[in-house]
Amino acid sequence: MKVTVLYFARLREALGRDRETLELPPEVATVGALRDWLIARGAPYAEAFTEIKRIRAAVAQTMAGDDARLADGAEVAFFPPVTGG
Amino acid sequence: MPVRIQHEDFDAGAEIASLRARDPRVGAVAVFVGVARDRNDGAEVSTLTLEHYPGMTERAIEEIVAQAKARWSLLDVLVVHRVGTLRPLDQIVLVAVTSSHRGDAFAACEFVMDYLKTEAPFWKREVTPEGSRWVDARESDEAAKRRWQRPGA
> Is B152 within the bounds of a domain?
no
pLDDT tens digits for A21-58? 999 999 999 999 999 999 999 999 999 999 999 999 99
pLDDT tens digits for B67-105? 999 999 999 999 999 999 999 999 999 999 999 999 999
Here the ipTM equals 0.94
> Is B153 within the bounds of a domain?
no
Q: Which residues of B23-38 are buried (b: 16+ CB within 10 A; e: fewer)?
A: eeebebbbbbebebee
Question: For position B1, what pLDDT does the model report?
Answer: 59
Which residue in chain A is spatially nearest to B132 when comparing CA positions? A10
Question: Does the CB of A5 have a partner CB in chain B at under 8 Å?
Answer: no
Question: For position B153, what pLDDT does the model report?
Answer: 72
Question: Which ranges in B21-138 belong to alpha helices (H)?
Answer: 56-71, 102-119
If one counts the domains in chain B, the total is: 1
pTM strictly above 0.90? yes
Q: Which CATH class is domain A2-79?
A: alpha beta
Measured over the CA atoms of residue B127, residue A79, residue B41 and residue B48, the dihedral's sign is positive
Query: A5 to chain B nearest CA, in Å?
Result: 12
The CATH number of the domain holding residue B99 is 3.90.1170.40
Domain residue spans in chain A?
2-79
Of A38, A72, A58, A34, which Cα lies nearest the Cα of B54? A58
Q: Is A82–B122 a contact, with Cβ atoms under 8 angstroms apart?
A: yes
Question: Does the CB of A82 have a partner CB in chain B at under 8 Å?
Answer: yes
For A:22-81, CB contacts with B below 8 A are 54, 58, 61-63, 77, 79-81
pLDDT tens digits for B15-36? 999 999 999 999 999 999 999 9
